[in-house]
Amino acid sequence: MIKIVSTDRIYNDIQVTLDARLKQIYQGTTHFEGDFCLQAEQKLCEMTGRKHAFLTHSGTSAIHLMLMAKGVKAGDKVGCTNFSCPATVMPIMALQAQPVFFDIDRHGQQSVQIDRPIDYLLVTGLYGDSFDYDKISNIDVPVLNDSAQSFGTLYKGVQNVKLGEASIISFSTNKNCPIFGTYGAILCDDDNLAQKIYLMRRNGYKNRDVGTSIQEIGINSQPQEDKAAQVLTSLERFSDWQIKRKNVFDHYDKCFNNEKIAIRPTTSYTTPNYHKYVIFVQDKYKFRDKLLAQDIECQLHYTYNFAKTEVFGDKQKNENFPWTDFYKRHAISIPAHPWLTKNEMDYVVDTIQKNVTEEDKNLCQKL
Ligand SMILES: Cc1ncc(COP(=O)(O)O)c(C=O)c1O
């Protein structure tokens, strides 16, 4: 089976370093916020150019903390994408704020109508690409960046994760800087915001010992050494993995363009991080099953129209979101991880070429 993510291959790649680090941690006494946390956070600052980095238990909890630290509260209107992983919207709902959904564009990137009244803007780049930041740079509300999928992506030469007052990264197994399970990080430059995030990720108080004052309302997202060691080890391998990802994407682009298969149009202003390779087919559920029967795992990224999803409220249920509908129906991601062999890539290309129909290819005209 050619998997979307091969955890055994990730492990092979990092085993020697990671095993030694985990042994050192489990034989030691520091399990929270020790040297590995510090090293991983410092490395994140170096790699992104951000002043502060904080590891968190997940990308989702990083968004949650980022919104809390910026003061998002019940009833606030938070502009966000209508099409993404549900994790983008959950923290808004958890804070009882109100999401204001914006459609994506033909590239799958969030678009924003800046005349719409909102109190905060949460922006999301999907598939390793970026939203068009210049279009929103004059907006007069705080811009917060769900860059879970955009680590390493450049927007007009600038790191996507540098955009916005704060940004987040996900290190989930299916991301481009994966660990086993999930972890996350928040990045920002402002010292006061950083101090809030620091306290909020440890339930609002400085010390686990009793007797210190509680300064903020927070959650438990205090980082652990063993997860931080995984993050650090993956960060050290990141640039190599990115080169391999680019090779896979270049190979697919060449083959699929030759065959006129409908692939996601990338934005002209982005140097992507090659996170998800997306093609379009008429019926993505059937296509997924067909490929699975031929030992290729695909994923349906994504299957929701948030505005029409009951738990997110019904305020925009009658609005049209044409590109959400298009992606929801047709977009499917294929295996594109850095450990694919040449034979596997050839098999993926060959199988896709054999299984797409003329009707699938005609989707090119709608893009
Ligand atoms: C756009 C987006 N935002 C947020 C998240 C949440 O990250 P995590 O899975 O680490 O909680 C993800 C990943 O699943 C994502 O793709």
- The CB of 218 under 6 Å from ligand 1? The reply is no
pLDDT at 71: 98
pLDDT at 139: 93
115 CB neighbour count, 10 Å cutoff: 5
pLDDT at 209: 65
Q: Which atom of ligand 1 is nearest to the CA of 184?
A: 10
- Give me ligand 1 centre to Cα 333, in Å: 16
Our mutation pick for probing the ligand 1 site, out of 55, 67, 85, counting the most ligand atoms within 8 A of Cβ, is 85
Q: 3-state DSSP call for residue 338? A: coil
Q: Which domains does the chain have, with CATH numbers?
A: 14-233 (3.40.640.10), 237-366 (3.90.1150.10)
- The CB of 176 under 6 Å from ligand 1? The reply is no
Reference 149, options 14, 364, 12, 333; nearest CA is: 333
pLDDT at 112: 84
Residues in Cβ contact with 289 at an 8 Å cutoff, skipping those fewer than 6 apart = none
pLDDT at 137: 86
- The CB of 56 under 6 Å from ligand 1? The reply is no
- The CB of 123 under 6 Å from ligand 1? The reply is no
pLDDT at 210: 66
Beta strands in 130-189 (DSSP E): 143-146, 154-155, 158-159, 166-170, 184-188
- The CB of 146 under 6 Å from ligand 1? The reply is yes
The H-or-E segment that residue 244 falls in is: helix 225-258
- The CB of 85 under 6 Å from ligand 1? The reply is yes
- Give me ligand 1 centre to Cα 58, in Å: 8
- Give me ligand 1 centre to Cα 174, in Å: 10
127 CB neighbour count, 10 Å cutoff: 24
Q: Which atom of ligand 1 is nearest to the CA of 172?
A: 10
Return the half-sphere exposure (C-beta side, CA atoms, 13 A cut-off) of residue 88: 29
Query: 310 with 104: CB under 8 angstroms?
Result: no
- Give me ligand 1 centre to Cα 283, in Å: 25
The DSSP string of 266-332 is: PPTTEE-----EEEE-S-HHHHHHHHHTTTB--B------GGG-GGG-STTTTS--HHHHHHHHHEE
pLDDT at 205: 87
Nearest protein CA to atom 7 of ligand 1, as residue: 59
**Taking phi first (over 0 means left), then psi (-120 to 50 degrees means alpha), and beta for anything else, what does residue 157 get?**
left
* Tens-level pLDDT at each residue, the chain (367 residues): 999 999 999 999 999 999 999 999 999 999 999 999 999 999 999 999 999 999 999 999 999 999 999 999 999 999 999 999 999 999 999 999 999 999 999 999 999 877 899 999 999 999 999 999 999 988 999 999 999 999 999 999 999 999 999 999 999 999 999 999 999 999 999 999 999 999 999 999 887 666 678 889 999 999 999 999 999 999 999 999 999 999 999 999 999 999 999 999 999 999 999 999 999 999 999 999 999 999 999 999 999 999 999 999 999 999 999 999 999 999 999 999 999 999 999 999 999 999 999 999 999 999 9
